[in-house]
Structure 1
């Protein structure tokens, strides 16, 4: 049987069609993969948008009573630590103030300025010593105010109004976590109040306590600033007094 060889152009056409079909299948597969990846990215983006919207909605919603009370306790803890830091700063200032006073007293006792004879320079030093004594008393007073601020100056009336229900239809509070003065209950009544208190009442009382301790911290901090100013001034006056005593003793 004779073998008939196909023309060259026929073989080339078949090869071209085969390559075209193969490339077509590859392009189709590539297009499907790209569309699938695009749909996957779009779904991921929609999920992210939904998650962001849900978080934004949760952030704008009012806190639950449990979360509110937890945050109020944390605020009270911060205010308590702030008051403790102020007290530590007062003690540090008093240590510096005590060392300064000790140095001034030793210099004055050694020079015997107060018992010295008359003279313009001696009277000038005595005047400085008198001013320094007044400064010492004022600084100690500010230290006492910072450690124990006058509680009678606290706005107790405003705190009591804030602790009461705003609406007369609401039941009165069964507990006050700031029992002060005549409103201080007995131990039995106080314990019973804790047994009957609701979450909303406790949250309202914590708000009143936070207001109270916030005012207490402000009062302590204001007295601390005055105390630091007094200590700084006492250092300067002590230096002037010591220099004046040394100059007077040399004369």
Structure 2
């Protein structure tokens, strides 16, 4: 029996040693895998930081002439769309204004307030009608200013200053992309100017044009605000005039 038990203990010890060695190899492999994953994560983080630093450096660098001109054209397109939106708002305000005026004229014509008749109430209504007529004329004037703002010499002087180079050794720039007024060139000169223009000169002229059209949009928007105020006031005055006419007609 002693001869039989000895091999059993030997086999158990061998199995225990084998399991211990296997567990040790497993822990070593697991540690290597963890270290490899950690190194991979560190490399990915370093790449991300380098990419972020490169993008930050590119964002702080001046734009290339091609990118600058492309962005300037986009800004001009935005300013053009803004001016078109202002014009549409003016047309909408004029529609409301026209409906209001039509209602007021129909009420006045039906009551014949401006015809024969006397009395304090009648003259009060006539005074309101006169004030309303002045308000109508002023509102129409603001609408015209919003659709076609007056162009003075001041914006062109500002453009001329913006178009002059900072370095006196450079020749002054001609506003070939904004040929307005007395300086408007012929078709041949205009085409030649586009053929000979450099990227830097085009960018500078686009800046001048953007400055001009930006001021133009501000003028149109200011006139639009006045137009809306006039339309709102005209609605109130129209309501007062209609009520006064109805009361006077009842008297």
Cα separation, partners in 2 of 1:126 and 1:153, compared to 1, 3 Å:
farther
What is residue 223 of structure 2 aligned with on the other side?
223
The structure-2 alpha-carbon separation of the partners of 1:136 and 1:10, relative to structure 1 and needing over 3 Å to count, comes to same
Q: Report the Cα offset of residue 190 of structure 1.
A: 1.1
After superposition, the Cα gap between the structure-2 partners of 1:174 and 1:113, relative to the gap in structure 1 and judged at 3 Å, is: closer
Distance 1:4 1:132, change over 3 A: closer
1:151 aligned counterpart, secondary structure? coil
Residues 161-220 of structure 1: per-residue CA shift (max 9 Å, x gap): 101111111233255211222222121111111010000000000000000000000000
Q: Which runs of 4+ in 1 moved over 6 A?
A: 1-4
Instruction: Out of 1-10 and 100-109, give the one that drifted further.
Output: 1-10
Distance 1:153 1:249, change over 3 A: farther
The question of whether the paired residues in 2 share the 8 Å contact of 1:142 and 1:227 is answered with: yes
Contact residue 136 and residue 234 of structure 1 kept, 8 A: yes
Superposed, 1:63-78 pairs within 5 Å as 63-78=63-78
The 8 Å contact of residues 154 and 216 in structure 1, kept in 2 or not, is answered as no
Cα 1:153–1:95 shift into 2, 3 Å: farther
Task: Structure 2 unaligned segments of length 5 or more: list them.
Answer: none
Closer, same or farther: CA 137–4 of 1 in aligned 2, 3 Å = closer
Tell me the secondary structure at the aligned position of residue 4 of structure 1: helix
Correspondence 1:47 to 2:47: yes
SS of 1:174's partner is coil
* Distance in 1 between residues matched to 2:172 and 2:3, nearest whole Å: 113
> Is the Cα contact below 8 Å between 2:163 and 2:175 reproduced in 1?
no
Distance in 1 (alpha carbons) for counterparts of 2:223 and 2:237: 21
**Conserved 8 A contact 1:146-1:223:** yes
Contact 1:178-1:209 at 8 Å conserved across structures:
yes
Q: Where in structure 1 are there 5+ consecutive unaligned residues?
A: none
Distance in 1, Cα, partners of 2:164 & 2:183? 14
In the alignment, the residues of structure 2 paired with residue 204 and residue 146 of structure 1 have an alpha-carbon distance, to the nearest angstrom, of: 28
Pairs aligned (count):
251
In structure 2, how many angstroms separate the alpha carbons of the residues matched to 1:81 and 1:182? 27
CA distance in 2, matches of 1:30, 1:2: 42
Cα distance, 1:55 vs. partner? 0.9
Q: Is the 8 A contact 1:79 1:213 kept in 2?
A: yes
Q: Scaled by the length of structure 1, what TM-score is found?
A: 0.95
Give the direction of change, closer, same or farther, for the CA distance of 1:8–1:184 in structure 2 (3 Å limit).
same
- Residues 4 and 92 of structure 1, relative CA distance in 2, 3 Å threshold: closer
CA RMSD of aligned residues (A): 1.9
TM-superposed deviation, 1:46: 0.9
Normalising by structure 2, we get a TM-score of: 0.95
SS of 2:166's partner is coil
- Equivalent residues of 1:175, 1:194 under 8 A apart: no
User: 2:154, 2:173 → 1: CA distance?
Assistant: 22
